[in-house]
Amino acid sequence: MIVETAREIQAAGNDLTEYLRVIGVPPSTFGFWAREAAEGKLVPKPPRPPTFEETSFRIDLCHEMKQLAHRRHITFGLHHLWVKVRGRITRDEFRKLATEVRREANRERLAGLLRYEFTHPDVAHSMDFVCLPRELQYGPRRYMIRIIDDCTRCTLRQEVTLHKGAGVGGAFLHEHLKAGLLPLVFKYDREFDVAQFENLLLSNKVVPLPSPCAYPKANGKNERANRDVQQWLGIYGKDEFWTTEELQQELAFCFEGLDEIAESAILNGKIRRKEYDARQRAPVDRDAFFKDAVQFRGDLLRRPNNRLSSTDAWRVAAKETLKKYDVVRYPRPSGVSGDFQG
């Protein structure tokens, strides 16, 4: 801008030195700018669009990086990949591309770990609270505590309560186990993470499967079921207040409606309760399953480099034992060939 203005001043016959003094630019600096402008270096050239060969190379490179990202030793693999392509891409571009691909692969892996399905009913049950509408405008809060079967999403037990927490959850779980509904593993959030809750499960040979801290997606099936209940009750508006008896009746309608409308297509025309009652249970020896999970957790905690807490060790042990007994299915990461299994 200064070079163009100076040229206009010179063309008009005015003093260029006085103009440079006013704007505070030394004549030597202006001379350097004028030479750079004459050579086309002062204003950067607009970036050209990539060629077909460059686009194809980048796509192929992203594919190779994605294959490496689903392996355990990605850094070692990237070193050899960089040696192969170092003449066709700069180091900074390679690092930026590798970082983007690794983040995307981690998102896919995490999503895959959450999209698992249990093969039979009573393999896993899960419990959670959901907030319900008040009885009066300024009345106390009410909650529904519910236990569902994670295979069929069938509601096994539910109750409306004025309080929430580990004490209420422990008493509710005690009644559930007392009725003979014993899963192989039991999923729950950290609000139930107390010694009495864990001991209650272990005394019935049920393996605890706690969720990670502040990560409700790990108990996603129950979370989605609770969201469906809130959406069902939200149809009546925020100004609708319910007595406990009315609320219990509406919840019964809610479960029946969700079964017959939303879930029927998913379960091949069946509703959750009928699917839960009719499907075969997993042919797994409970004692052997429980023993393997306890032993695996003990081995984890005894490792010299162990960084897992006692609660996190239960989660890892439960998942590994479920895979060992083949009662859980995980989807394969998208875009990963069978040659690269991390």
Domain boundaries, the chain: 2-38, 52-114, 118-278, 286-329
**C-alpha pair distances (Å), 202 with each of 181, 199, 296, 325:** 14, 5, 15, 19
Share the mean pLDDT of the chain.
Answer: 80
Residue 124 CB neighbour total at 10 angstroms: 25
Span 232-248, mean pLDDT? 78
Q: Give the rounded percent of residues in the chain with a pLDDT score beyond 90.
A: 24
Residues 6+ apart with CB under 8 A from 158: 144, 145, 146, 147, 251
pLDDT in tens, 211-223: 887 666 667 777 7
Tokens 């704007």: give the residue.
23
On the question of pLDDT at 72 being above 60, the answer is: no
pLDDT in tens, 130-144: 888 777 656 788 898
CB contact at 8 A, 187 and 125:
yes
- CATH C-level class of 118-278: alpha beta
pLDDT in tens, 251-275: 877 777 665 555 555 555 567 788 8
CB contact at 8 A, 148 and 118:
no
User: Which pLDDT score is estimated for 138?
Assistant: 66
CB contact at 8 A, 162 and 143:
yes
**C-alpha pair distances (Å), 243 with each of 43, 128, 230, 247:** 74, 22, 16, 6
User: Which pLDDT score is estimated for 228?
Assistant: 79
Span 95-99, mean pLDDT? 86
Does the global pTM surpass 0.75? no
Which residue, among 175, 143, 142, has the nearest Cα to 156 in the 3D structure? 175
User: Which pLDDT score is estimated for 155?
Assistant: 86
User: Which pLDDT score is estimated for 339?
Assistant: 38
Span 238-244, mean pLDDT? 76
